[in-house]
């Protein structure tokens, strides 16, 4: 019999389990351990953002072109408020339709003729007018699509912004619909 009264009622701690199970539990419980598990997961799926193989991130364009919708005087219109389409979506829609048009007519999409741009613009204007009418926010006549190009430059600001008229809506197509 032991002389120490506390030793008689003491329960021996369970044998310590080592190995993978305790390491996994420790990693899951510790915040920094979760980070390493996440790194292992990313390695398995081969996604290493921001060091990714996706072209959007690995090779950005030095020039940033964008399009916006303007009225007959060249003032910017809130295309999102009128049509529910954002300016980036307008650019993507226009570029994809222009690429399809050029492919269908054997044209170079990197330098399309103005006739191809006008043909695609007519469809885009019709789409935007339809969306605006559905939202009960009609667009004014004489719509224009403006092309803005932002490029690096040795100017004091470090960039230049060039705005050009890209396409003009056919005035006959722009007549507002009258309701009886």
Asked if the model's pLDDT at residue 176 lies above 50, the reply is no
DSSP 8-state assignment for residue 13: P
Give domain status of residue 174, yes or no. Answer: no
Same domain for 77 and 129, yes or no, is: yes
Give domain status of residue 80, yes or no. Answer: yes
Asked if the model's pLDDT at residue 98 lies above 90, the reply is yes
Same domain for 79 and 159, yes or no, is: yes
Give domain status of residue 2, yes or no. Answer: no
Instruction: Supply the range of the domain harboring residue 40.
Output: 22-55
Same domain for 107 and 69, yes or no, is: yes
The band of 94, judged by pLDDT with boundaries at 50, 70 and 90, is very high
Same domain for 66 and 95, yes or no, is: yes
Give domain status of residue 164, yes or no. Answer: yes
| Mean pLDDT (the chain, rounded) | 79
**Cβ atoms within 10 Å, residue 98:** 19
| Domain count within the chain | 2
Same domain for 46 and 124, yes or no, is: no
pLDDT for residue 28: 74
Same domain for 31 and 86, yes or no, is: no
Report the greatest alpha carbon distance in the chain. 109
Give domain status of residue 139, yes or no. Answer: yes
Query: 123, 148 in Cβ contact below 8 A?
Result: no
Same domain for 51 and 66, yes or no, is: no
pTM beyond 0.75: the answer is no
Same domain for 85 and 124, yes or no, is: yes
Same domain for 137 and 92, yes or no, is: yes
Please compute the mean of the pLDDT values over residues 158-171 and round it to a whole number.
85
Give domain status of residue 154, yes or no. Answer: yes
Report the b/e string of 27-48 with b at 16+ CB within 10 A. eeeeeeeeeeeeeeeeeeeeee
The two structure tokens encoding residue 129 = 């007018």
DSSP 8-state assignment for residue 159: E
Same domain for 114 and 41, yes or no, is: no
Same domain for 75 and 163, yes or no, is: yes
Domain's final residue, options 55, 74, 96: 55
Give domain status of residue 178, yes or no. Answer: no
The string of pLDDT tens digits covering residues 100-114 is 999 999 998 888 999
Same domain for 77 and 118, yes or no, is: yes
Give domain status of residue 175, yes or no. Answer: no
């Amino acid at each position: 019999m032991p002389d120490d009264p506390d030793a008689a009622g003491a329960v021996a701690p369970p044998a310590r389990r080592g190995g993978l199970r305790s390491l996994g539990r420790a990693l899951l419980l510790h915040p920094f351990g979760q980070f390493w598990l996440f790194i292992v997961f990313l390695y398995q799926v081969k996604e290493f953002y921001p060091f990714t193989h996706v072209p959007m991130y690995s090779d950005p364009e030095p020039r940033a072109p964008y399009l916006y919708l303007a009225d007959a005087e060249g003032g910017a219109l809130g295309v999102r408020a009128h049509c529910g389409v954002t300016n980036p979506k307008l650019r993507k829609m226009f570029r994809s339709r222009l690429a399809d048009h050029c492919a269908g007519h054997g044209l170079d999409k990197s330098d399309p003729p103005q006739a191809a741009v006008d043909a695609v613009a007519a469809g885009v204007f019709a789409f935007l007018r339809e969306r605006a009418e559905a939202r009960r926010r009609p667009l004014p006549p004489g719509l224009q699509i403006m092309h803005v190009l932002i490029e690096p430059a040795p100017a004091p600001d470090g960039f230049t912004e060039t705005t050009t008229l890209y396409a003009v809506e056919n005035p006959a197509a722009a007549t507002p619909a009258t309701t009886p």
